[in-house]
Amino acid sequence: MKITVIGTGYLGATHAACMAELGHEVLGLDVDPDKIARLSAGSTPFYEPGLDELLVKHVVGHEGSTGRLRFTTSWEEVADFGDLHFVCVNTPQRHGEYACDMSYVESAIDSLAPLLDRPALVVGKSTVPVGSAARLAERLAVRSPAGEAVELAWNPEFLREGFAVKDTLRPDRLVVGVREEGGPAEQRLREVYAPLLDAGVPFLVADYPTAELVKTAANSFLATKISFINAMAEVCEAAGADVVRLSKALSYDDRIGGRFLNAGLGFGGGCLPKDIRAFMARAGELGADQALTFLREVDSINMRRRSRMVELARQQCGDGFLGRRIAVLGAAFKPDSDDVRDSPALNVAGQIQLQGGQVTVYDPKAMDNARKLFPALGFADSAVEAARGAHVVLHLTEWREFKEMDPAVLSEVVAERRILDGRNALDPELWRGAGWTYRALGRPS
C-alpha cells in the first residue's frame, strides 16, 4: 500500500521506517527541511536503537535499499502520493497550563484537508485529549473538497523510547477508533497491519473516545504504579525499611507484578508527565475532575523524588554545596535514549548547581541535548572525567555502562568515595566493599 506519514519526529520517523519494513511504500513529510535532509541521508536527529539501520535499509538512494521510503516537505506531493495518511505530530503541554497543545495536529489537518479531492483515510496516532477525534473528523469533512469521503480513524501509539522499533513491529496490541465498526476504515487498517495480525497481534476496534482514552489511561496507570512504589520508598526511609526488598516481595503477587515497580528518581520524558496533566485538564473540562484528582498526588510524588535526591546530596556534602564538586551520571530521562525532556537527572543537576554546587554531567548519548538545555552545567566525555575531584557521585540514569562500572576505577579520581544511587540499580555490596559510602532512595544507610 501507499502510505504517507505526516510529522517525522520520534513517532513519525519510527512509524515511517517500520511501515516500509512491513512492505509498504511510504512518503514522510515534515516542515523542517534540515530534518528531511538528514532522514533522506539515512540518519535520525535523535537516538533510537535500530532506527538508523531501518532507514538505510529502505530510504531511496542508498546502496542495496528497498527504495520503499522517501521524505518530502511538499503537502501537494503527500496528497498526490496516496489515500492513507498517518498524522504523527507532537502534542506538547500547553505553555503555562496542564492542557494539551493541539496546534500541531490542527495545523496538519488544515494543511492536508484542502488537498484531498478524492476519498481518503486520515489516521491520527498522536496522543490527544478525549473528544478530539470527533472534532477533527468534522474539521476534515468541512475543509476537504471530498467532504465526508475523507474519513478519520484514531490509532494511538504505545511506543517506549529505546524500544520503539520493536514496539512498532511487534506490538502487544493494536487499537483503532473508527466511525463505523466493520467499515472501510477498519478494513484498510487491517490491510496495513496484516503482517502483524498474521503474527497474532490483538486488533481492538473501538469508537473514537475509547481509542483516545486507551493511551492516556495506560500512561496514567503506569505513572501511578511508579509513583506508588516511590511513595513506599518515602515510608521505607521513615521506617528504616528497604524498598528494594519490599518491591521484590510485592512482585510475586500475580495481581501486582514486578514491572515498573522499581523505586528511584521517578519518571520524566516527553510523554508521561505531560499526558497525565493533560488528562487531568480534560477531565475537568468534561466535569469529571474528581475522578482524576489522585493523579495530582501521582505527579507530586514523582517531583518529590527529585527534591529528595538533592537533599541527600546536600547531606553527603556536609549540608551545603558551596565549594563541593558533584558528578552526575546520566542526563537522558531513561537509558537507551538521548531525550532530555523533563529529565529527572538534569532537574537534579540544575537544582544543585543553583544552590552553589560545581556539577559535571556525563551521559553516553544525551550530551548534546543536555548542553542545549542546561548550558551552565559542566560536562565531561566519560564517567571517569565527570567523577574527577568529586565529593559525591550521583547515579541518575540507569545506563548499562554505569551499572557495570568498576568502583575501584572511580576510587582513583574522586575526592571522596560517596555515591548516591538514584535508580537502585547498582550493587550496594560491591560499592561498599570498595570503600564507598553508598546511599539510595528508599533504602537504609
Q: Which residues are catalytic?
A: 271
CA angle 120, 89, 189 (to 5 degrees): 40
Contact 191, 270 (CB under 8 A): no
What CA–CA distance (Å, rounded) separates 169 from 88?
17
Of how many residues is the chain composed? 445
Buried/exposed 32-66: b ≥16 CB within 10 Å, e otherwise: eeebbebbbebebebbbebbbebbbbbbeebeebe
What is the phi-psi region of residue 374: left when phi exceeds 0, alpha when psi lies from -120 to 50, beta otherwise?
beta
Q: Which residues contact 125 (CB under 8 A, 6 or more apart)?
A: 11, 15, 86, 87, 88, 155, 156, 157
Looking at the DSSP assignment, which residues form a beta bridge with residue 27? 4, 70
| Element spanning 223, H or E | helix 208-239
The radius of gyration of the chain from alpha carbons, rounded to an integer in Å, stands at 24
The closest of 4, 2, 6 to 111, measured between CA atoms, is 6
How far is Cα 174 from Cα 193, in angstroms, rounded to an integer? 9
Cβ count within 10 A of residue 220: 20
Strand-pair partners of 84: 121
Give the residue among 369, 404, 412 at the shortest CA–CA distance from 387: 412
